[in-house]
């Protein structure tokens, strides 16, 4: 179904127009630049809402646009959205304006920050909408550049180290993706078309070369696992998250991590269904390590932001476990968890940012009794914390339950051990809440102001979604369910 409205193109490139406008604005006009950047994320959000309204779950790939780009290599500007990309695209356009609001406190090199941020948004939306392998790769790499500067210039004390570490890790992964891409291209007679590639591979010499497939799948897995980040490639994440400014942590945890799992579901699984089955146990074991090890690490942290960072590693483990199970509940749970983790962890990082702006430290033991004077802030934190530990009625519960339901029949032992992750998560979250918000008030922070209007505007939409999806998960489940069922059919049949 060709789209006449170019909805996805406009959604993807509106922020880029904003970036150019920000660049030509004089750097003195700081507030104007911030307003401009905010305004230019809104059309994408509006288009995202429109996309949700227009999307017909039964119809498969939609909003397709296809134009030849590099005809010599059969590269196309080929974008579209299916049930897998729609939630991710929506998550991106939703978080970006919120992050601009969260960046209001940036006062150093304002112009560069917001221009790079908008460029980053274009890159992320491009990744989620690309259906041409080459295009996907270009957007995938394009994101690295703004991210490097955003962490490296506006980050915390160890920002330079964190930025280059993030850059090197991700580039290391993506070069293997590049090799896999070229090998596939050469073997299928010159195709980058992600939709058609599955059948083209099956009918090419590659279709029967299990050894080559194994290596290619491994290469892709490394590229995507670094982004997730799956054990043992996770060590960049705590550094990057802790050093990045609040808004960038939100983007990192909320969107960038999802690109790893999105890449596996979009590219690795459908292209090599047999390998997806072969690797299932391996991915499940890695997922288990992520869940338990991530949670244990989180428990040991004294820095609030680092705690949230490690909890992300743990929560992405659920996504991987659901993916590995290859059952309807598991796969749907995985995608739902991707979306839910995006909103919940975004809230958590925003909340950490709020308290850091006031107290200028993030030491968990350095607070105490904050609930007394900061009722709104404590309320939001309470909601986000409980959503994160999977309290029924909030969105995190549904996705975790689905993942475990789906994984149990396939990996019984792993799932049972994995369930301990929930207990550990509950432990560190409740313990943290107790140390920061309960107990006697730390007199040093008696005068802290509660959340401002701007901060509440950032948090309300996310809180609303967390509660809404906790009660009516089918609102979003129905979007990607048909797509996931189709993917399961492809993988298990192959």
Partner 1 sequence: MGNIESLAYFIPELILTATVLAVLFADVLGGEREGFDPPANFAFVGCVAAFLAHFTLYSLPSTPLFNGILIHDPFGAFFKGFFIFCTGVTTAMVIVSREVARFKKGEFCVIILCVCIGMCLVAASRDLLMIYLSLELMSLGSYVMAGFSRKIGPSEEASLKFVLYGGVSTGIMLFGISLLYGLTGGTSFEAVRSALAGAGSGIEPIAFLALLMVLVGVGYKVAMVPFHFWAPDVYEGAPTAVTAFLSVASKGTGFALLIRFFFSVFMQPAEGGWATLAPLHFDWGLTIAVLSAITMTVGNIGAYPQTNLKRLLAYSGVAHAGYLLMGVSLMTSTGVEAVIFYLVMYLFTNMTAFFVILVVSESLGTERIAGFRGLWRGAPVAAFMMTLALFSLVGLPPTAGFVGKLYLFYAVLQQKLYWLAVIGVLNSVLSLYYYARIIKAMYLETSSETEPAVHSSPLAGLILIVMAAPVLYFGVFWNPLVEYARYCAHLMQ
262 binds partner 1 (CB under 8 A): no
Measured from the CB atom, is 38 or 192 closer to partner 1? 192
- The correct pick among 144, 296, 430, 467 for binding partner 1 (CB under 8 A) is 144
26 binds partner 1 (CB under 8 A): no
- The correct pick among 21, 52, 61, 138 for binding partner 1 (CB under 8 A) is 138
The span of 35-43, 182-190, 407-415, 486-494 binding partner 1 (CB under 8 A) equals: 182-190
- The correct pick among 24, 26, 72, 107 for binding partner 1 (CB under 8 A) is 72
The span of 37-45, 145-153, 251-259, 445-453 binding partner 1 (CB under 8 A) equals: 145-153
Please list the residues that pair with 77 across neighbouring strands. 67
Query: What is the Cα–Cα distance from 41 to 81, expressed in whole angstroms?
Result: 20
471 binds partner 1 (CB under 8 A): no
Rounded to a whole number of angstroms, the minimum distance from the CB of residue 69 to partner 1 is 8
Measured from the CB atom, is 161 or 401 closer to partner 1? 161
196 binds partner 1 (CB under 8 A): no
- The correct pick among 46, 164, 410, 441 for binding partner 1 (CB under 8 A) is 164
Measured from the CB atom, is 185 or 293 closer to partner 1? 185
Rounded to a whole number of angstroms, the minimum distance from the CB of residue 172 to partner 1 is 5
- The correct pick among 159, 258, 306, 315 for binding partner 1 (CB under 8 A) is 159
71 binds partner 1 (CB under 8 A): yes
Measured from the CB atom, is 30 or 358 closer to partner 1? 30
Rounded to a whole number of angstroms, the minimum distance from the CB of residue 401 to partner 1 is 40
- The correct pick among 40, 78, 148, 349 for binding partner 1 (CB under 8 A) is 148
Measured from the CB atom, is 186 or 376 closer to partner 1? 186
- The correct pick among 17, 54, 61, 171 for binding partner 1 (CB under 8 A) is 171
Measured from the CB atom, is 209 or 430 closer to partner 1? 209
210 binds partner 1 (CB under 8 A): no
185 binds partner 1 (CB under 8 A): yes
Contacts of 441 (CB under 8 A, 6+ apart): 368, 369, 370, 372, 373
Query: What is the Cα–Cα distance from 8 to 2, expressed in whole angstroms?
Result: 12
218 binds partner 1 (CB under 8 A): no
- The correct pick among 95, 163, 242, 407 for binding partner 1 (CB under 8 A) is 163
Residues near partner 1, by CB under 8 A: 69-73, 137-138, 141-142, 144-145, 148-149, 152-153, 159-160, 163-164, 167-168, 171-172, 175-176, 178-179, 182-183, 185-186
């Amino acid at each position: 179904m060709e789209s006449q409205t170019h909805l996805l193109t406009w959604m993807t490139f509106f922020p880029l127009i904003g970036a150019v406008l920000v660049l030509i604005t004089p750097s003195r006009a700081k507030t104007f630049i911030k307003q401009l950047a905010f305004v230019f994320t809104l059309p994408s959000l509006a288009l995202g809402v429109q996309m949700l309204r227009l999307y017909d779950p039964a119809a498969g790939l939609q909003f397709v646009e296809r134009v030849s780009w590099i005809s010599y290599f059969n590269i196309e500007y080929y974008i579209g959205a299916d049930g897998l990309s729609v939630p991710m695209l929506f998550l991106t356009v939703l978080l970006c304006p919120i992050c601009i609001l969260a960046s209001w406190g940036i006062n150093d090199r304002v112009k560069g920050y917001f221009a790079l941020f908008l460029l980053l948004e274009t890159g992320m939306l491009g990744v989620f909408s690309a259906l041409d392998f080459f295009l996907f790769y270009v957007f995938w790499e394009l994101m690295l550049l703004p991210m490097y500067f955003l962490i490296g210039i506006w980050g915390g004390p160890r920002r330079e180290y964190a930025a280059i570490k993030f850059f090197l890790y991700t580039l290391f992964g993506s070069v293997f993706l590049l090799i896999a891409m070229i090998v596939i291209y050469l073997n299928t007679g010159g195709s980058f078309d992600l939709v058609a590639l599955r059948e083209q591979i099956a009918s090419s010499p590659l279709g029967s070369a299990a050894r080559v497939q194994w290596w290619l799948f491994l290469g892709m897995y490394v590229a995507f696992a670094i982004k997730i980040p799956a054990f043992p490639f996770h060590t960049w994440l705590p550094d990057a998250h802790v050093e990045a400014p609040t808004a960038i942590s939100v983007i990192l945890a909320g969107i960038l991590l999802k690109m790893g799992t999105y890449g596996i579901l979009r590219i690795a699984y459908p292209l090599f269904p047999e390998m997806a089955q072969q690797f299932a146990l391996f991915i499940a074991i890695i997922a288990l390590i992520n869940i338990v090890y991530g949670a244990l690490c989180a428990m040991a942290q004294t820095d609030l932001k680092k705690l949230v960072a490690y909890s992300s590693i743990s929560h992405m483990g659920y996504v991987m476990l659901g993916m590995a199970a290859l059952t309807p509940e598991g796969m749907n749970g995985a995608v739902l968890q991707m979306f839910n983790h995006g909103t919940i962890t975004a809230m958590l990082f925003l909340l950490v940012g709020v308290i850091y702006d006031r107290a200028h430290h993030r030491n968990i033991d350095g607070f105490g009794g904050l609930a007394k004077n900061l009722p709104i802030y404590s309320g939001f934190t309470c909601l986000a914390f409980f959503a994160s530990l999977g309290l029924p009625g909030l969105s995190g519960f549904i996705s975790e339950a689905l993942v475990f339901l789906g994984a149990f029949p396939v990996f019984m032992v792993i799932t049972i051990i994995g369930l301990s992750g929930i207990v550990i998560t509950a432990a560190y979250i409740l313990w943290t809440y107790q140390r920061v918000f309960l107990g006697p008030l730390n007199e040093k922070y008696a005068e802290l102001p509660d959340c401002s209007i701007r901060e509440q505007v950032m948090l309300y939409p996310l809180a609303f979604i967390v509660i809404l999806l906790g009660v009516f998960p089918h609102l979003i489940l129905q979007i990607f369910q048909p797509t996931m069922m189709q993917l399961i059919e492809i993988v298990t049949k192959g």
